Amino acid sequence: MTRMVRKQIYIEPQQETLLKRLARMTGVTEAEIIRRAIEQQARTILFPHRDLSAWQEERAFINHLIQQGSVPGGRTWHREDLYER
């Protein structure tokens, strides 16, 4: 088991009620609920939601190229040519 560090915290009465309810509902300890909340908060702050609009634009561009089909006349290079560079 991982070594734990003891921490004492103060929470508001409604938070205690909610904490107890969550522990009962999930079947884990109150301490585990708090640990999970800390991890979730860390993920939110350290790895914020990324704006996917750039990826969506790129996907649209690639789909546009695919819809255009093959280049007339085919490609003018050979795979082996790439390895000589």
Q: Encode pLDDT of 15-45 as tens digits.
A: 999 999 999 999 999 999 999 999 999 988 8
The pLDDT score that the predictor gives to residue 31 is 96
20-58 burial string, b = 16+ CB within 10 Å, else e? eebbeeeeeeeeebbeeeeeeeeeeeeeeeeeeeeeeee
Per-residue pLDDT band for 85 (boundaries 50, 70, 90) equals low
Residue 84 confidence (pLDDT): 63
Would residue 61 count as lying in a domain? Answer: yes
pTM above 0.75, yes or no: no
Task: Determine, yes or no, domain membership for 52.
Answer: yes
Asked, for residue 8, whether it belongs to a domain, the answer is no
For residue 66, tell me if it sits in a domain: yes
Q: Which of 22, 17, 46 is nearest to 33 (CA)?
A: 22
Asked whether residue 67 is domain-assigned, the answer is yes
38-82 pLDDT, tens per residue? 999 998 888 877 778 888 999 999 999 888 888 787 778 788 888
